[in-house]
Structure 1
């Protein structure tokens, strides 16, 4: 089969989108295991997540231009090769730095795959049937994003975190083999397209400086000199980027895209939608594993309802949007998303699995409306190169949403956790003073506890006991030698561990409390779609016949 058109092509493009979006969240639930194995900090972990999305955000548009030059089908296959190679290297990483570098390689492959998959998929069926691939591609994005932690948890629990990356290799190989049979590699049309390297550079500088200050802002201080420099660099790069794009004959971004209100609505929706769903996908697995004591597999099962709900309701949401327009469904999607955010205000270590499941179902339901509407609207009325450009920009904005979410929520969580740990240290110090042991022993235990709390990840009773026992191992005579003191220490450790889990675990609920008003305000995004019903050329956007 060498036909360019048809559902087999759409399914193959869904596979390309699936592995790229899967890897934007598959690491979320494995981060504690990676941190422990590679001895990395939460901040380093955020770079492991962000470098992938940064690469896609910056490179998706120039890679789409390369695809126009050399052929989208061939470039899709090149993307599979680079993505597969990056996945192998990620799995072989033995340091946090290596993993960051090889995640960037993965990101380059994804930057090739995502825009090509969208344009080839939309172009694969006749004009009157293009709502079908748009809906399927949108559902695949949402499903893969939501399914990432589930797959990551199952793999980590049964194999190791390395296999979170190795699993991509057979998928990429299968995609390559299918491409030879499904895609027309000999007769695809190429276009003349210049690469806007200055635009790429300015865009990269702007995104990096913004990401840097969002990650480091709590530690530096938001009004510190380094933060101000980042603000200035971002603003300058952004202004220069816009000025250069207006004058450039082959700009990185076709600014006339933004004259279409439906397209503007689509990128605002996908930006904000991914900002809020990634905040749940990244943080919830860490909360379940670190503070509720769940295994990776148990945490994966608890967040699975997000992916299941997206899978079930995305297509239905797409059909509804086709009938009544974008405005109401998208506003309704944000309203639904605000309900789990309201529920997460009370998230704590005593929260039941049932509560977590309800939260995840509602998150998936709300996001179904957002991803279906945004994907359908992104095609708008564009054809030919404008369709390619629109999908490249849409991919870039989506990745910026993921990038901002990780930077904002992970850095804020890191700040909250460090602050809460200081509270635990003060509480532990007060409790240590009440132990019936010698002053020397109190001082040793107090110092050991402080180091354990400030540097430890999972503050469980078992982990604290292990550290105390190791600390006491070199003592010739210790408090552990007496049964009464052993009981006292055991009660003390249990008390500190319980207080630590409760106090530090509350760091998560604070974030969702703060975010709730912004989720509600996002309902106003629906007003951007002023047309009550999508135009046929929007929901069934034309594309170039390659």
Structure 2
């Protein structure tokens, strides 16, 4: 394994932390900035949403699949050297993403971006940890977590601005000067850093097994809301994933140089950090999906307006993360962790009171509260998992940590989408049944009642269709009853908008329940006085 030989001062200091965080911001940013530009990309390449979604998935899934493997290579080859290699690869793949002439080419280079991200993320965590003395690790990881959280949260807003004033390709062009500056700064801060390396030992079968298993798991989770959680393809995907984990565990105990040291999972601190990290990934990805849907589809804001509304989430995470790091340095892990869970529960509860006519300021501060809670959970779990392992294992441990977060993100989006769509479909059916009952109590003729009832029963309600009553308005109704029918259509349209908000309320309740359930893990931090 590679071991750090510190410079004469002992540590690189916060200068090293901030320099590493500069490049890390771009890596995390590319996981969310493209989302809001998908409509423009779809239009330019004349493709469909199913194909375009792989512009997102190719990056996120590749990062998750290769994180552990790249973390292991970083431990062997040397974190600083491998970190710079990852940055160069990311810069080149960003350039070719911007030059893509078709959607297939863009997806291909997003895949290479994902590999680069899988190199940078775990190695950067190791380099941040060794940049400061143990009593300041919490603050350093707070900065690391703040940068990552800010990049993920600010992505849609920045993407909206770039798409509005320029061209989506600049989302990739802006990576080039930032990475160039980071590489120049790295040369200065790493010049006294010496790393001892050992011969590389590749766990080929373990890497293949873990990669395939993770890909199938994430793909299965992302397809669950579309094809149904109880469908055979989904059941088969989960079954394959469980068997894959078993095979991977067997392989890792049979070889001399395993990809993952399972002794890591005997470390309760590390496991608690992973559990809370999983929740952090679920909640952040879920909120980044829920809020744009709430603001654009229910409250009918524009995409750019919705992007600005998410800014409080970014600001809250930016401010809270370093503060959380200081709390960890002073009080240990339990206090900031449990406070984060409590604030998350309160935040989700406050969001359940949002309505169609909620004032702007009221929306903004509620979003800010949930940002504080998620940031405290994320930074504390990151610090717990980082400081609780030996330095020689830090890159692998960091790779597992980041992999869990990415998997949590994929799971979060799918679970929250499933809750929203299931709730919305249920309430829409109830609304249609109420309208049918209302028809029978009107003065409409028997023929008109039958025709309108059949039309309502055949009504296909879509969450993302704002004109779902258009075909009802085109039905021929006698002039005497036309006003009454239009009133019913208007009421149905208004009720469907309310149904969207109610469905999203159920997603917020789901997030609140998840926070309560996961908070049980924080109790394990009480057994001893864990301090940095």
TM-score (norm 2): 0.83
Q: Which residue of 2 aligns with 1:528?
A: 524
Structure 2 contact 310–367 (Cα < 8 Å) conserved: yes
Partner Cα distance (2:167, 2:354) in 1: 29
- Once the two structures are superposed, the pairs formed by residues 12-411 of structure 1 within 5 Å of their partners are 12-31=19-38, 40-41=48-49, 47-91=54-98, 99-127=106-134, 129-184=136-191, 188-411=195-418
Q: Mean Cα displacement is larger for which, 420-429 or 274-283?
A: 420-429
CA distance in 2, matches of 1:74, 1:141: 21
Distance 1:348 1:371 in 2: 29
Task: Name the CA shift for 1:387/1:512 in 2 (closer, same or farther; >3 Å).
Answer: same
C-alpha distance in structure 2 between counterparts of 1:427 and 1:108, whole Å: 52
CA displacement 1:449-476 (0-9 Å, x = unmatched): 989x66784516xx988x999xx9xxxx
RMSD (Å), alpha carbons: 4.1
Q: Are the aligned partners of 1:216 and 1:411 in contact in 2 as well (CA < 8 Å)?
A: no
TM-score by length of 1: 0.81
Q: Distance in 1 between matches of 2:53 and 2:427?
A: 20
Superposition deviation, residue 12 in structure 1 = 1.8
Structure 1: any 5+ residue segments left out of the alignment? 473-477, 540-546
Deviation sequence 1:233-288 (CA, Å, 0-9, x none): 01110111112122322212111112221111111111112211221112202321
CA distance in 1, matches of 2:40, 2:55: 13
Deviation at 1:336, TM superposition (A): 0.8
Q: Which is further off, 119-128 or 196-205?
A: 119-128
Query: By how many angstroms is 1:45 displaced?
Result: 6.2
* Secondary structure of the structure 1 residue equivalent to 2:196: coil
The CA deviation string for residues 416-454 of structure 1, in whole angstroms up to 9 with x for no partner, is: 5566677788899999999x9xx99x99xx99x989x66
2: CA distance, partners of 1:45 / 1:457: 17
C-alpha distance in 2 between matches for 1:488 and 1:86 = 60
The alignment of Structure 1 onto Structure 2 pairs a total of residues equal to 519
Equivalent residues of 1:75, 1:116 under 8 A apart: yes
Alpha-carbon displacement from aligned partner over 1:449-504 (angstroms, at most 9, x marks no partner): 989x66784516xx988x999xx9xxxxx99xxx9999999988866654443334
Q: Give the Cα–Cα distance (whole angstroms) in 2 for the partners of residues 7 and 95 of structure 1.
A: 42
Cα distance in structure 1, aligned partners of 2:494 and 2:426: 17
Structure 2's unaligned 5+ residue stretches are 1-5
1:519 maps to 515
Rate the CA distance shift 1:530–1:504 in 2: closer, same or farther, 3 A.
closer
Corresponding residue number in structure 1 for 2:3: none
Q: Distance in 1 between matches of 2:210 and 2:247?
A: 9
SS at match of 1:247: coil
Distance 1:36 1:502 in 2: 31
